[in-house]
Amino acid sequence: MQDAVFDDPHGHDPNCIFCNIIAGNAPCRELYRDDTLIAFLDIAPVQPGHTLIVPLRHHVDMFTMSDEEMAAVARFARYMAPVVKLVTDADGLGVHQLNGAAAGQTVFHYHMHLIPAFEGKPPKIHGREPAPAEELDAMVEALRRGM
Ligand code: AMP
Ligand code: ZN
């Protein structure tokens, strides 16, 4: 039987990496999941603790998101941001969300970034390469303990 999540007009895009994560066809270091959204670690973090908040439904960008989905992402960001900041001992926290290639978006399934920021380190939105598996494993455990 098809997952109910994909019974909506936006559908499940089999070519979308985040849809595949949501469907369980690709791995992620999951922090949280409910009926509307999932949160997991970015595989190529700008800084350790870089977290993504992703609606379960496939929306390419913010322009098709419902008010309810936007509110759910915002609510979870409000919960998760202080956890990420505290656990990573960051000086600040960037909340970023890109719409369209022109804005720098690279994965075309809506997501919000939570990125720890540190004095003296120029803020960035994208990391360069995947972090070592052990680093991501340790971070997901630390964040889960902080939630
Ligand atoms: P954006 O440029 O805003 O579309 O950001 C996409 C983000 O998704 C980047 O920070 C990538 O590192 C991240 N990303 C891509 N593939 C994966 C994946 N399989 N698991 C976790 N994060 C990913
Ligand atoms: Zn998708």
CA dist 147 and 80 (Å) reads 8
pLDDT tens digits, residue range 10-24? 468 899 999 999 999
Q: Flag whether pLDDT at 4 surpasses 50.
A: no
99 ligand 1 Cβ < 6 A:
no
Task: Give me ligand 2 centre to Cα 20, in Å.
Answer: 7
DSSP label of 133: H
Nearest bound ligand to the CA of residue 140: 1
43 ligand 1 Cβ < 6 A:
yes
The pLDDT assigned to 71 comes to: 98
Which regions of the chain does DSSP assign to beta strands (E)? 30-33, 37-41, 51-55, 92-96, 112-117
Q: Flag whether pLDDT at 37 surpasses 50.
A: yes
CA dist 104 and 126 (Å) reads 9
Domain-wise residue ranges, the chain:
17-146
The pLDDT assigned to 106 comes to: 97
Question: Is 109 part of the annotated catalytic residue set?
Answer: no
CATH architecture, range 17-146: 2-Layer Sandwich (3.30)
Q: Which two three-digit tokens encode residue 50? A: 């870089």
CA dist 11 and 91 (Å) reads 39
Q: Flag whether pLDDT at 6 surpasses 80.
A: no
The pLDDT assigned to 12 comes to: 85
Ion ligand 2 neighbours, Cβ < 5 Å? 13, 16, 18-19, 58, 109
Is residue 40 within 8 Å of 136, Cβ to Cβ?
no
The pLDDT assigned to 128 comes to: 87
pLDDT bin (cut points 50, 70, 90) of residue 9 is: very low
60 ligand 1 Cβ < 6 A:
no
Short-list 13, 15, 17, CA closest to 130: 17
pLDDT tens digits, residue range 68-115? 999 999 999 999 999 999 999 999 999 999 999 999 999 999 999 999
Q: Flag whether pLDDT at 2 surpasses 50.
A: no
pLDDT tens digits, residue range 111-143? 999 999 999 999 899 988 999 999 999 999 999
